[in-house]
Amino acid sequence: MTAAELGPEDVVLEIGAGIGNLTERLAKKAKKVIAVELDPVLVRVLHDRFDEVENIEIVPGDALKIEFPEFDKVVSNLPYSISSEITFKLLRYKFKLGILMYQYEFAARMVSSPNCKDYSRLTVDTCYFADASILMKVPKSAFQPVPEVDSAVVKLIPRPSPFEVKDQAFFMDFVAAVFSQRRKKLKNAILNMNHVLKISNIKEIIARLPEDMMSKRAENLTPEELAKVANQIIDLKKLPV
């Protein structure tokens, strides 16, 4: 929690407040804590515990479905089943810092590098939206009862993309498509996934893309190189064939 460097101006969002142990510690440092919790039984526990505490707002509901009020920082021991969806939902909001606990394998994929086994669609999408780093690995033995998986605390700092992306929706679809065929050369991955990408003159476009990129696999290309290919496809789609 110290990594969040909370001060009296901070409005903190907590996803999945549970019985409120973290919530209570956050509220001692921050201006306000917005505690979101899905389970109605736990929501009742939170109300019993915090209704007299002025700077805790309890928001019952599914964090994937509700609109979040404005917040500066997000600090959460996330429900792991929604890690991906909730992270990319959060990254659509404007905030300064996230300190988030994930399953270790998920965190490792967020911060990986090209040519590594964990380098994936998640790495590229994360890199597009934020700087991410693992602050510490938390072994399963740190929890009671002992869960099946290790965890990791990740620091997320949202920022503008460090590389140009001409069409965000297409870039995201492109990255998903080529990583679904990560062992294939890029040109084959694009061809195989064109039922998703729906590029009408795909063969002509591939013929015009640089061969050195097309003969590599998605897992060997940096996020910037992948963005460059996606941008070139967007440009070539506009040209008469």
Ligand X SMILES: C[S@@+](CC[C@H](N)C(=O)[O-])C[C@H]1O[C@@H](n2cnc3c(N)ncnc32)[C@H](O)[C@@H]1O
CB of 130 to ligand X, least distance (A): 21
CB of 50 to ligand X, least distance (A): 13
Of the pair 50, 174, the CB lying nearest ligand X is at 50
CA-CA distance, 29 to 136, in Å (whole number)?
Answer: 22
Per the rule left: phi > 0, alpha: psi between -120 and 50, beta: everything else, 20 is left
Which residues are documented as binding site for S-adenosyl-L-methionine? 1, 16, 37, 62, 77
Which token pair is 108?
């490792």
CB of 132 to ligand X, least distance (A): 20
Considering only CA atoms, which of 119, 131, 74 is closest in space to residue 100?
74
Which residues are documented as binding site? 1, 16, 37, 62, 77
CA angle 212–233–238, rounded 5-degree value: 140
CA-CA distance, 152 to 126, in Å (whole number)?
Answer: 16
CB of 183 to ligand X, least distance (A): 33
Of the pair 110, 177, the CB lying nearest ligand X is at 110
Q: By CB under 6 A, name the binding residues for ligand X.
A: 15-18, 21-22, 36-39, 42, 62-64, 77, 79, 82
